[in-house]
Structure formats: C-alpha cells, structure tokens
Amino acid sequence: MASVPAVFVIGGTGAQGIPVVRGLVKDGAYKVRVLTRNPKSGRAKQLLNLGNVELVEGTFANEQDLRNGFRGCDYAFVNIDGFNSGEKTEIYWAIRSYELALEEGIRFYVYGNLDYAYKKSGFRPEFRTGHYDGKGRVGEWILQQTKDNGDRMGAACFTTGPYIEMAIASNTTMTPNIEDGVVTWRVPLSDGAVVHVSLQDCEYYVRWLFDHQDRANGMDLEVAIDHISYSELAKAFEMVSGHKARYIPISIDEYWATGPMAAGADRSSGYNSDLKDPAAVTIRQNFTGFWTVWANCGGDKPVIKRDYKMLDEIHPNRIRSAEQFFRKEQERGIKEGLGDLWQRVNNMKPVLKVAEDKRKGKL
C-alpha cells in the first residue's frame, strides 16, 4: 500500500490555515506537519484534534526550523503572516522558503498569495498595499522559477482576498457597528466592490491544487465568492437575519478618525516591523491603499479581476453570493452554538489570528 504523502504547512494556525489543513486530512489522503510558535495554543490543539496532524515548534523566520519542517515531506503549503513580519521581511522569508523547499526535495509547493495590487493598477502609488504587494511580488517570482524548476518541484499560487467572515468579526478593517439597532458598515468603499473569499471554500480549493498537480503546476488560482458591493452585503445580511442592515460610504479621513482600526492607525502594519526602517509602513498607509483598491473594483473594469467561470468548473458547489454565505453561516452558527447572525454581530469574536492574539495580549 502506498504511503500517505506528507504536507508541510506554514500558517496552519491562521484563519485560512485551519480549513486548509482540515481539507487535506479529513479523509486520510494526506498527513500534515504544521509549523507553530506555540504547540500548546488553542488553535494548535484544534489542528491536532483533526487527526493526521503533527506539530513542529518554530518560526518561518528561522532557516533551521524551515529545513526541519520541509525535510521528509512530499509537498508544502506556505502562507506567511505579513502582519507578523512586515512587507520587507516577508519577501525575504517567502523566497527563502521556496529555495529551502527545493533543496529539501519537496515535489509540489503551494504559495498562499494575494493580488499584486500595485502592479495591477499600473503602478499607481495610491494603490500601494504592503501586505498585498509583498505577497504578489513573491507569487510572480515563484511562478517564474517554476518555468525553470518545474520538473524538480512543481508550484502553484493560491490567491485569495479579504475573508467575508471579517465583515461580521471584531478587529478587522470592515468590522460593523450596531447603530440604533441597525447593523452598519461604515467603510471608504464608495461604489466599489470587494473580492470577498469564503474560508469554507479555501478548504476545497487548496485540496484541489494538491489533488490535481499536473493541471495546477504553474497556475495562479485566484479565488473569490464574487465582487461584492457593501450595499449588496447589507441587503443580504438583512434578508437572512431578519434585522436591519445598511452600508454608509465614508471618506478615508473619516474612516481613520472613527473606523475600527483608528486607534492603531499610526502603528506599524507588521508588528515585528520597526517604523524606523524606511521600508516599513503604518497601518494607515497600508489600508488606505487597500481601500483604494476595492473602491476601484466596481463596474466593468475592476482593478482586481476573477475568472468566475473557471472557479465554477473547479468548485461547482462554491459559495457564489453574500446571501448564500450568510445563509450557510447562520445555519453553521446555530448548529455549533455560536448563535445566529444577529447574536453574533452583537457579540463579535476575532476571526484573524493577529486579532485574537492582540485580544489575549500576546502582541
């Protein structure tokens, strides 16, 4: 009987990492080794409970830890946390991770990517978004290396976007408020749209990449539910929850004065990135570019595009609308004892690991 292939995962305890690992191990087709700074954390224990999961203690910013993780594995999924490292450091360690994987004999490498928004805008400075552009540069570099090294180690990019779960979670760029009983999103989106991604679908897409390596090799799989306007988001929430919801477009200045990230606007966007470094950017600078990107994604010429026809073919049961997401999330929340949508927006919890760690005083 053939041995079960092993996948080394960087970023396994993150919001995306947990469903990715679950998708790999749920039927025993793969076993997974996860790099974690804290094997005793709740998220690490959650992964162990999935079965077929091994934890190795270490950090992506240590060459020996990376070698230990890659060694003996067949494949890798690498999604470095840019809010830990900052843009410059992420670029170095993402490239070094690829090189070490190649050295250690990894046969297929999936890189957790984001859109190179700066390039896709035509290198317009107002679109610079550090945590997107850092990943996007490396993603292009990896696919270029695959042209030379693809017979030795295949590779694919898995390009996502803002998780739609962030729209009903605490401490995110789009956390809503309850104003006079109305769920209210006040964000500087104008009439734009966000290529929101469902974490549930990430589980399927990454498994598909590993299951279909011949087709996936050299692919940048750019995923999304849809280009979702916040008028549509609010309407869908109201329809599913039965409680009033609205979107109020605001200016970027008002967002930084009153929005969910206003208190930390002038901190470094990577908590291990020193603002004394000229390459570092503040949260304000980073997410001003972020909202500029999405404000320019409405209409028929969005800066960020997706091939929804291809996504339908790859994942026929994918989530295709905000309403469908909210219906699934309402059902899941009730089933798992989290509450319905209305209860959850009145008692919001973090979905991002960085927000959870901040809440627990670990940053």
Q: Place 39 in a pLDDT band, splitting at 50, 70 and 90.
A: very high
Distance in angstroms (rounded) separating the CA atoms of residues 223 and 319: 11
DSSP labels for 262-292?
Answer: GGGTTSBSSTTS-TTSTT--BHHHHHHHHHH
pLDDT tens, residue by residue, 252-267: 999 999 999 999 999 9
The predicted pLDDT at position 356 comes to 60
Distance in angstroms (rounded) separating the CA atoms of residues 179 and 161: 28
User: Which residue from 286, 259, 256, 264 is spatially nearest to 363, judged by alpha carbons?
Assistant: 264
pLDDT tens, residue by residue, 137-188: 999 999 999 988 878 999 999 999 999 999 999 999 999 999 999 999 999 9
Burial of 299 per CB tally in 10 Å (0-12, 13-18, 19+): exposed
The token pair that represents 305 in the structure block? 């595009």
The token pair that represents 16 in the structure block? 């995306």
Q: Place 193 in a pLDDT band, splitting at 50, 70 and 90.
A: very high
Q: Provide mean pLDDT across the span 45-49.
A: 95
Domain range annotation of the chain: 6-161+196-222, 164-194+226-304+320-359
pLDDT tens, residue by residue, 110-136: 999 999 999 999 999 999 999 999 999
Distance in angstroms (rounded) separating the CA atoms of residues 206 and 292: 28
User: In whole angstroms, what separates CA 249 from the centre of its chain?
Assistant: 24
How many CB atoms within 10 Å of residue 50? 15
The predicted pLDDT at position 357 comes to 61
The token pair that represents 281 in the structure block? 């950017």
Radius of gyration of the chain (CA): 20
- The residue behind tokens 């208190």 is 263
Query: Tell me, what amino acid is at 229?
Result: S
Q: Provide mean pLDDT across the span 5-31.
A: 97
The predicted pLDDT at position 359 comes to 46
Distance in angstroms (rounded) separating the CA atoms of residues 287 and 171: 14
Contact between 344 and 168 (Cβ < 8 Å): yes
pLDDT tens, residue by residue, 69-81: 999 999 999 999 9
Write the CATH number of the domain with boundaries 164-194+226-304+320-359.
Answer: 3.90.25.10
DSSP summary character for residue 86: -
* Helical ranges in 104-249 per DSSP H: 117-120, 130-149, 199-211, 213-216, 230-241
How many CB atoms within 10 Å of residue 276? 7
- Taken in order 135, 173, 264, 344, the sign of the CA dihedral is negative
Percent of the chain with pLDDT over 90: 91
Task: Say which residue, 321 or 352, is predicted with more confidence.
Answer: 321
Same-fold call for 6-161+196-222 versus 164-194+226-304+320-359? no
- The residue behind tokens 């690992």 is 21
Distance in angstroms (rounded) separating the CA atoms of residues 266 and 132: 19
pLDDT tens, residue by residue, 79-98: 999 888 899 999 999 999 99
Q: Place 240 in a pLDDT band, splitting at 50, 70 and 90.
A: very high
Distance in angstroms (rounded) separating the CA atoms of residues 151 and 171: 43
Domain covering 6-161+196-222, topology: Rossmann fold (3.40.50)
**Biggest CA-to-CA distance, the chain:** 62
Mean pLDDT score of the chain, rounded to an integer? 95
